[in-house]
Amino acid sequence: MSLLALQRDFGAWLRDGDADAAAPGMRVYQNNYRAALVACLEDAFARTRAWIGEEAFSRAVVEHVCRVPPSGWTLDAYPRDFPDTLAFLYPGDPEVTELAGLELALGEAFVGPDAVPLMQAKARDIDWDRAILRFIPTLDLRPAITNAHAIWLALAEEKLPPPVEILAGAHALLVWRHDLTSRFRLIDAREEQALALARSGLSFANLCAAVVAVEGEAEGIALAGQWLGCWLADGLLTIETGG
């Protein structure tokens, strides 16, 4: 048997082998393999674990470890598919998937690329009629239909989580890293759409025009200005051009 064949067989056994029929050494490897994956998911989804309970979380982890073998050289990649497993297991509880998705996004932002945020003081010098907004690379948008963000906050503060609510209207969770801390904020569909336009390379002037076309002149300009202020204060903007 070639080394390639041996390693393929060994890998397949780790995933699906019958431990009861195996030599003690093989059982050690299989146990190490599973324990590492379980620990990885427990570490990445502490709030989700607290929300659904130990037993349910363990069942989800076992399901995930069986369904999704690790493929990346770093265990940081392994949690990425876990929200999909939760969506499969909890189709009627969307807050579970959203909570796990939020935890995942916060973790990814924590180790995402560094960027120098545009300081509010410097923003005064920018010609906003010509400016094209540039966003920090850790910015992530996730769809939100429940109050999973409020559940996350309560669990983080070790308070009693609120009951599940379906949000009125479309929303999104904006996730990013400010300095060294991951942050998130619930935004409505209008701000989400404006962010998508701005991230696509639209100039701020054209973004204002697009918002005005939908909201009317006074409301549109006020909204665009308000969002810009928030994005600056949140540290979401990085390098401006044309200003």
Considering only residues 181-210, where is the footprint of other proteins by CB under 8 A? Answer: none
With residue 125 as reference, give the H or E element that holds it. Answer: none
The verdict on 24 binding other proteins (CB under 8 A) reads yes
Q: Is 3 in the site for other proteins (CB under 8 A)?
A: yes
Angle at 150 between CA 149 and CA 154, to 5 degrees: 120
Among 37, 99, 172, 208, binds other proteins (CB under 8 A): 37
| Shortest distance in whole angstroms from residue 93 CB to other proteins | 29
CB of 98 closer than 8 Å to CB of 201 = no
CA distances from 201 to 174, 213, 240, 241 (A): 18, 18, 11, 11
Instruction: Tell me whether residue 22 or residue 230 sits nearer to other proteins (CB atom).
Output: 22
CB of 25 to other proteins, least distance (A): 3
Instruction: Compute how many residues bind other proteins; rule: CB under 8 A.
Output: 41
Residue length of the chain: 243
161 vs 36: CA distance, rounded Å = 29
Tell me which of 20, 21, 25, 124 binds other proteins, using CB under 8 A.
25
CB of residue 189 vs other proteins: minimum separation in angstroms? 29
What is the DSSP annotation of 155-217? Answer: HHTT-PPPPP-EEEEEEEEEEEEETTEEEEEEEEHHHHHHHHHHHTT-BHHHHHHHHHHHH-H
- Interface residues for other proteins in 70-129 (CB under 8 A)? 70-76, 78, 109-114
Cβ 81 to other proteins, closest distance in Å? 14
* Interaction of residue 13 with other proteins, rule CB under 8 A: no
Check if the beta carbon of residue 172 is closer than 8 Å to that of residue 142: yes
Which residues are 144's β-sheet partners?
Answer: 171
Residues interacting with other proteins, by CB under 8 A?
A: 1-4, 6-8, 10-11, 14-15, 23-29, 32-33, 36-37, 40, 69-76, 78, 109-114, 137, 177, 180
